[in-house]
């Protein structure tokens, strides 16, 4: 392999002249596919390298505790990928994670939302290295199950559960309620009467938040969780009868939300409930906590400034309201790259189609599934890689994620090459394991690589080990 990077004794990855930028080793391809595998040019402002996100003082933590390699800011992702490909002794897929990204996102959070304490949503990416890195910054954790709580406790045995963990699921198994109480977690969320009765019987000393239903222009944004004003008033009255310690409200506006009107309507609703709760009719509660949930977009600054302005107006600092949040994707999305190996291919793919498949009667309606199969039949080349729809790429189905795709040859070629209509399959025996059914790529060889940026959220957390395939190998880097 040409142009490998060298790592110094200080675990530092340096750019050397053998790799020119990355033009010769890595090229991008635009995927035009119904499965939404695409290249998108980022025009957004990079907020990860401002003065307030400098993390050089954490060198000892990153290198000695976490085993991460230091990478200069001038080193391209392509160079990093090529280096770690050279370190692999097998053809397994692997991840490269920038641990400093988590810390920089936290520092950015403090810059834009200094009044709001984040509790990382563990479900987004439940890996110990993320939990340990965020805990090192004194961040709390949003756990939705006993298993997520166990993961945090195993990673941070000395964590103060009273202050650092919230049980954020509105609808909880009784066994989990008992487990959280046993571990001294204090705060949880409810949105229905039955949940109040469960709390009364099994966790009577809990601090309870009311989950608000999100509406936009009178229309509900969620059918699964949240209570409207009518139900909230009933819950306030019942909580008073049961002597439940209601302490505030929570809400979740939905993933990647940048809608100013939605935030404004929801915060105004929360303010209204805060005021209603104080009335004698509704129980005379004094709410002290507002949880603004998650759903924050990766491109954060403008949304954060908008939220901060609204919070300052509706919940002024002199009221002493404790503000909290449950970001997940915000912390992890752009932290991770996935590198896959081309483990097999089929050239001359059109020759494999039967005559019956090629005959389509004019009056026959073509379904979407048939149309996708037709794209595969008409492709020139099929590539098979060692991660797929049952693994990291489950996000195509469950999260409607658009993936960035890059290719890297094991042995570089200089000449211009023809591109071919191609298909990318995952490694399992299931035909549905198709990552892209229409993408233009040059002729690549077995052993070459496809790699994907921004795979840190709701990818491996939802992955299975179906057919015995799951990406488990990680390399860690950090940038100052």
Residues with a known catalytic role: 429
Cβ pair 180, 188 in contact under 8 A: yes
Cβ pair 296, 304 in contact under 8 A: yes
CA distance 163 to 407: 46
CA distance 104 to 333: 13
DSSP string, 328-358: SHHHHGGGEEEEEEEEEEESSGGGGS-HHHH
Polymer length in residues for the chain: 480
Q: Token digits for 258? A: 């940048």
Residue listed under structure tokens 């860690």 = 476
How many C-beta atoms surround the C-beta of residue 50 within 10 A?
14
Map residue 57 onto helix, strand or coil: helix
CA distance 35 to 369: 12
Residue listed under structure tokens 């020139």 = 380
CA 158 and chain centroid, separation: 26
**Cα→Cα distances 405→68, 217, 235, 424, Å:** 25, 38, 49, 11
Cβ pair 221, 215 in contact under 8 A: yes
Q: The dihedral of CA 225, 229, 231, 236: what is its sign?
A: positive
CA nearest neighbour of 392 among 419, 431, 426: 426
CA nearest neighbour of 198 among 181, 212, 222: 181
Classify residue 409 as exposed, middle or buried by CB count within 10 Å of its CB (0-12, 13-18, 19+).
buried
Bridge pairing between strands 322-325 and 69-71: unpaired
């Amino acid at each position: 392999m040409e142009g490998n990077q060298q790592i110094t004794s200080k675990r530092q990855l340096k750019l050397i002249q053998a790799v020119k930028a990355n033009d010769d080793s890595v090229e991008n391809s635009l995927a035009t596919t119904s499965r939404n595998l695409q290249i998108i040019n980022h025009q957004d402002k990079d907020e990860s390298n401002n003065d307030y996100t400098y993390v050089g003082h954490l060198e000892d933590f990153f290198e000695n505790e976490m085993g991460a390699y230091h990478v200069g800011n001038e080193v391209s992702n392509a160079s990093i990928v090529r280096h770690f490909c050279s370190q692999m002794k097998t053809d397994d897929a692997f991840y490269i994670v920038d641990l400093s990204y988590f810390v920089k996102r936290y520092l950015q959070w403090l810059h834009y939302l200094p009044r709001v304490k984040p509790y990382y949503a563990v479900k987004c990416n439940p890996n110990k290295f993320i939990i340990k890195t965020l805990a090192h910054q004194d961040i709390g954790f949003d756990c939705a199950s006993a298993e997520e709580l166990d993961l945090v406790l195993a990673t941070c045995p000395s964590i103060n559960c009273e202050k650092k963990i919230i049980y954020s699921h509105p609808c909880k198994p009784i066994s989990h309620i008992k487990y959280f109480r046993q571990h001294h977690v204090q705060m949880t969320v409810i949105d229905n009467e039955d949940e109040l009765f469960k709390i009364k019987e099994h966790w009577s000393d809990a601090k309870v938040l009311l989950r608000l239903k999100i509406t936009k222009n009178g229309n509900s944004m969620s059918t699964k969780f949240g209570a409207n004003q009518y139900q909230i008033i009933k819950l306030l009255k019942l909580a008073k009868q049961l002597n439940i310690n209601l302490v505030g409200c929570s809400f979740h506006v939905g993933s990647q939300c940048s809608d100013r009107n939605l935030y404004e309507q929801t915060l105004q609703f929360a303010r209204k409930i805060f005021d209603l709760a104080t009335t004698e009719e509704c129980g005379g509660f004094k709410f002290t906590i507002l949880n603004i949930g998650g759903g924050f977009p990766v491109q954060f600054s403008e949304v954060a400034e908008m939220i901060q302005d609204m919070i300052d107006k509706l919940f002024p600092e002199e009221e002493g309201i404790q503000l909290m949040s449950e970001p997940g994707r915000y912390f992890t999305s752009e932290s991770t790259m996935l590198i896959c190996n081309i483990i097999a291919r089929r050239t001359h793919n059109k020759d494999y189609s039967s005559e019956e498949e090629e005959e389509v009667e004019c009056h026959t309606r073509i379904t979407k599934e048939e149309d996708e199969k037709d794209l595969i039949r008409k492709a020139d080349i099929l590539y098979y890689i060692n991660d797929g729809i049952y693994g990291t790429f489950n996000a195509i189905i469950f999260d409607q994620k658009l993936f960035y795709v890059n290719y890297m040859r094991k042995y570089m070629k200089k000449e211009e090459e023809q591109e071919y209509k191609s298909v990318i399959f995952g490694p399992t025996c299931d035909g549905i394991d198709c990552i892209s059914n229409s993408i233009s790529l040059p002729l690549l060889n077995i052993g070459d690589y496809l790699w994907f940026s921004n795979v840190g959220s709701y990818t491996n957390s939802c992955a299975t080990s179906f057919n015995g395939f799951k990406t488990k190998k990680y390399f860690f880097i950090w940038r100052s």
